[in-house]
Amino acid sequence: GGIRISVIGDSTKLPTSLQKLINEVEETTKHNSRLQLIVAVSYSGKYDVVQACRSIAEKAKDGQIQLDDINESLIEQELETNCTEHPYPDLLIRTSGELRVSNFLLWQLAYTELFFAQELWPDFKKDEFVDALSSYQQRQRRYGGRH
């Protein structure tokens, strides 16, 4: 159906057969451009930042980059969400009454608007989604020092 599938997270914790299947699906769909489905499996925001730092440290050790090359842009290139051209959500909807982001996309959520809903995910329907969008539309977006 033209959908590109990307999987983010620590896939080394998965069975080898599943890792192989993930690689095959990503390879088979990599040129699809209608939509992109990003599946987070064994993913955490802390894991993502640590793996980006490790990758940068390895490149520095190998002489591919210098200390002065390390900046926000380089870190963002190493995050797992570099698989998409839109890695920064405009709106995060958190269901189930939880008032936290739960170690999800920690770097990427820096300027994301948050909406907290009491409904559990299966009960989050069209009316609740419209409420979240209406709340988002009423906000004035501010991005701090980042433009």
Q: pLDDT by residue (tens digit) across 24-82?
A: 999 999 999 999 999 999 999 999 999 999 999 999 999 999 999 999 999 999 999 99
Domain boundaries, the chain: 1-43, 44-84, 88-146
Tokens of 12: 């080394």
Question: Would you state the structure tokens that stand for residue 81, as one six-digit string?
Answer: 């969400």
pLDDT of residue 146: 54
Higher pLDDT, 145 or 46: 46
Element (H, E) at 23: helix 16-29
Q: If you count them, how many residues does the chain have?
A: 147
pLDDT, residue 32, reads 96
Q: How many CB atoms lie within 10 A of CB 143?
A: 9
